[in-house]
A and B are shown apart, each in its own frame.
Chain A
Amino acid sequence: MSDFLSPNLVVFAMTIAAAFLSFYLATGRVRKQAIASQTKSHSLNQYYGFYVSLWVLVPAILLALMWMFAADPMLTSAAKARMVDAYPNLPESFLNLKMAQLVNIASGYIKAPDAVMAAQAELLRAAQASADRARSLTLAAVMCNGFFYAFRRVSPELRARVLCEAFLRRLFFLSAVVAILTTIGIVASLLFEAVRFFREISLFDFFFGTHWSPMTALRPGDAAAADEFVAGSTGSFGMVPVMAGTLLVAVIAMAVAVPIGLFSAIYTSEFASWRVRNIVKPTLEVLAGVPTVVYGFFAALTAAPFFRDLGLFVGLDVSSQSALAAGGVMGIMIIPFISSLSDDVITAVPQSLRDGAYGLGSTRGETIIRVVLPAAFPGLVGAFLLAISRAIGETMIVVMAAGVAANMTINPLESVTTVTVQIVMLLTGDNEFDSVKTLSAFALGMTLFVITLLLNVAALTASRRLGQRYE
């Protein structure tokens, strides 16, 4: 069998063909019956076709999915057991390599290096072939079953349209459930690992410890030494400096983004003619599409050296990876975010309030500062909170520009580290995945998640309050 006509593809094509065929047969049947019984069928003919096709397709798809998750791993583990017999002395990691090779040989991508592998590959191929055959037969049986069940029910009285719509409704509902469940799953796995971390390190040490150096904790002896060295320290997993760094960068980012974003929003919503607005607004929004890694470049290669040189020039000692550079560039990144949201909020303030202010003799500035902005305030707060939560969760820029040393400082000229940077540091490279060090990444991730979640909830509440006020 050629590569292109792999068994999967053939089975897939046959399934689709079966679906079309059943559509055709079902519409034919209902048409004939309607003529024979001189009645008008409940739904349009096509719905009977869809109805039967769904009964053919959906069970088949479910079966194929189940097969993928259950049968394929069974095949692989059986092959692996045979490999262990064939190469009794091979270490585990090497065996895994051999397994990968074996799968490729069996699929015909590479040639077998020796007779043992060739024999193993032949066994695997045979097993796969019989599994494929079994799957095709089961699929065919399931499809026939579905077809006959549905086909026999097709008659002009059958409410096929209602049934099809019920199916669609369930499909959409299922999609929503899947989206929510995956989120819950992610959070749960995060929580699970975090709990494992907190079995080793106490909550108090983690949240209130002021010393963060997970790398030294890797070697137990050194960690103890380091702990003693930092006299009276609570351990190497104190997240306070990391959190402080995160907040410092976020505050710098907001200090850049809030004034510029808010003022440009005031300009586009209150002053710009619609023609200017139609140019300025999309332009700002395009900035939001720049990949964050590009901002990272800019921060590391342009902004950071610039601030360092500037510092040298005025006689300040600026670290080559400063919170200022990272925060400043991150601020630029969230400007469009703030300006776009704020513009929407300000535009939503009713014109009648502006008229009222003008009618009392307010100037344009007074109207904006004393009436429009206060009226928009809850929505603006919501926009800012969303922006902060973006800034806190942002990774690429800080990885490239902020630094890794967990300095406990509020000096923007020094290098700081952030939660996201630490997570990247902890989980990239060679790691055992159950050391306290890697587990601490999950604890950090959990903390970050809770903070951004709270910020987002607060933002939502704030803007909902604005909505209620002017409905």
Chain B
Amino acid sequence: MDTVVDMAKAIKIQAKDVNVFYGEKQALNNVSIDIEDRSVTAFIGPSGCGKSTFLRCFNRMNDVIPSCRVEGSIMMGDVDVNSLQTDPVLLRARIGMVFQKPNPFPKTIFENVAYGPRIHGLAQSKTELDDMVEDSLKKAGLWGEVADRLADQATGLSGGQQQRLCIARAIAVGPDVLLMDEPCSALDPIATSVIEELISELQQRFTILIVTHSMQQAARVSQKTAYFHLGTLVEYGDTKDVFTLPKNEQTEAYISGKIG
């Protein structure tokens, strides 16, 4: 596997020889990848190839699954994400996650965004908390729509608004990295394009890893694309190269719609 590193951008995360097992079954095979800082990296590949599994390695969400075992190193700066010494709770404050289905808590809009700052003790005063909530909602492009209804139940928002609320909720903790697992798959095309624009804006502040089944989406929002097949990283490079001149024939077959 050859990795093209654009020297203009620093490396944010470096994964080396990551293997993941669910019980006896191996789901990922020696995956190594360098993730660029402040860019969007898309993970694509057929269903069941291990994209979600790999994404969940970055914030140790696989810990939640009892049968799951992760080997290898994932360095973020000088922190090994996968080391036993690393506290997943602190790690997840630095690496936010947005899920496939919007999952706002059954609380008010305000309380949803304030949740992270509260549990991590980020705000010293009520005004500071208010500012954080407002700031996060603005970054998530939702402020205009909800500014006057912060006390409403979050479950009353539309699907697209809920997903942006989940993004705001993740941003509020102040992470450097955002993981997104098919964030638009439960949304209609208009809500999807809103989120895609948002991702392009967020890219200036955050390192974003996104799993998507939509080739067009990967092409639109990402700078780098990684193609997975049956638990291995088959191809990784600049998005425009992967989509125009795939080096690997499996990648080409997938992109042109022959597998998947």
Q: Which residues of A contact B (CB under 8 A)?
A: 273, 350, 352-363, 366, 370-371, 374-375, 469
The total number of A-B Cβ pairs within 8 Å is 64
Within 8 A of A (CB), among B30-51: none
| B61 interfacial contact with A, CB 8 Å | yes
Top-7 shortest CB links A-B: A359-B97, A361-B92, A361-B93, A352-B103, A356-B103, A360-B116, A375-B106
Contacts A353-B106, A355-B99, A357-B115 known; list 4 others, CB within 8 Å.
Answer: A359-B61, A359-B92, A360-B116, A371-B105
Q: How far is it, in angstroms, between the C-alpha of A71 and the C-alpha of B90 when the chains are bound? A: 84
Q: Are A375 and B105 in contact (CB under 8 A)?
A: yes
Q: How far is it, in angstroms, between the C-alpha of A360 and the C-alpha of B104 when the chains are bound? A: 12
Q: How far is it, in angstroms, between the C-alpha of A358 and the C-alpha of B96 when the chains are bound? A: 10
Beta-carbon nearest neighbor of A468 in chain B:
B155
Q: Are A361 and B107 in contact (CB under 8 A)?
A: no
| B173 interfacial contact with A, CB 8 Å | yes
Beta-carbon nearest neighbor of A359 in chain B:
B97
Q: Are A360 and B103 in contact (CB under 8 A)?
A: no
Q: How far is it, in angstroms, between the C-alpha of A375 and the C-alpha of B119 when the chains are bound? A: 17
19 contacts between A and B (CB under 8 A): A352-B101, A353-B106, A356-B166, A357-B105, A358-B92, A359-B61, A359-B92, A359-B96, A360-B92, A360-B173, A361-B89, A361-B116, A361-B120, A362-B89, A362-B119, A363-B89, A371-B105, A374-B105, A375-B105
Question: How far, in Å, is A28 (CB) from chain B's closest CB?
Answer: 61
Within 8 A of A (CB), among B164-191: 166, 169-170, 173
Q: Are B90 and A360 in contact (CB under 8 A)?
A: no
Q: Are B103 and A355 in contact (CB under 8 A)?
A: yes
Q: How far is it, in angstroms, between the C-alpha of A170 and the C-alpha of B197 when the chains are bound? A: 61
Q: How far is it, in angstroms, between the C-alpha of A359 and the C-alpha of B94 when the chains are bound? A: 10
Q: Which residues of B contact A (CB under 8 A)?
A: 59, 61, 64, 66, 89-93, 96-97, 99, 101, 103-107, 115-116, 119-120, 155, 166, 169-170, 173
Q: How far is it, in angstroms, between the C-alpha of A94 and the C-alpha of B160 when the chains are bound? A: 84
Q: Are A360 and B96 in contact (CB under 8 A)?
A: yes
User: Which residues of the other chain, A, contact B115 by a CB distance below 8 angstroms?
Assistant: 357, 360, 370
Question: How far, in Å, is A382 (CB) from chain B's closest CB?
Answer: 15
Q: How far is it, in angstroms, between the C-alpha of A357 and the C-alpha of B103 when the chains are bound? A: 10
Beta-carbon nearest neighbor of A355 in chain B:
B99
Q: Are A469 and B155 in contact (CB under 8 A)?
A: yes
Given contacts A360-B173, A361-B120, A362-B89, contact A355 B107 (CB under 8 A): no
Question: How far, in Å, is A347 (CB) from chain B's closest CB?
Answer: 16
User: Which residues of the other chain, A, contact B59 by a CB distance below 8 angstroms?
Assistant: 359
Q: Are B119 and A370 in contact (CB under 8 A)?
A: yes
Q: Are B61 and A358 in contact (CB under 8 A)?
A: yes
Q: How far is it, in angstroms, between the C-alpha of A366 and the C-alpha of B92 when the chains are bound? A: 14
Q: Are A360 and B64 in contact (CB under 8 A)?
A: no
Q: Are B105 and A353 in contact (CB under 8 A)?
A: yes
From A355, A357, A361, A371, residue with most partner B Cβ within 10 Å: A361
From A352, A360, A363, residue with most partner B Cβ within 10 Å: A360
* Contact among B66, B101, B119, B155 with A360 in the assembled complex (CB-CB below 8 Å): B119
Q: Are A469 and B106 in contact (CB under 8 A)?
A: yes
Question: How far, in Å, is A411 (CB) from chain B's closest CB?
Answer: 40
User: Which residues of the other chain, B, contact A273 by a CB distance below 8 angstroms?
Assistant: 66
Q: How far is it, in angstroms, between the C-alpha of A363 and the C-alpha of B90 when the chains are bound? A: 10
From A355, A356, A358, A363, residue with most partner B Cβ within 10 Å: A356
User: Which residues of the other chain, B, contact A363 by a CB distance below 8 angstroms?
Assistant: 89
Beta-carbon nearest neighbor of B102 in chain A:
A352
Q: How far is it, in angstroms, between the C-alpha of A441 and the C-alpha of B115 when the chains are bound? A: 53
Q: How far is it, in angstroms, between the C-alpha of A273 and the C-alpha of B107 when the chains are bound? A: 29
Beta-carbon nearest neighbor of B92 in chain A:
A361
Q: How far is it, in angstroms, between the C-alpha of A457 and the C-alpha of B120 when the chains are bound? A: 40
Q: Are B119 and A366 in contact (CB under 8 A)?
A: yes
Q: Are A353 and B103 in contact (CB under 8 A)?
A: yes
Q: How far is it, in angstroms, between the C-alpha of A350 and the C-alpha of B155 when the chains are bound? A: 14
Q: Are A358 and B64 in contact (CB under 8 A)?
A: yes
User: Which residues of the other chain, B, contact A362 by a CB distance below 8 angstroms?
Assistant: 89, 119
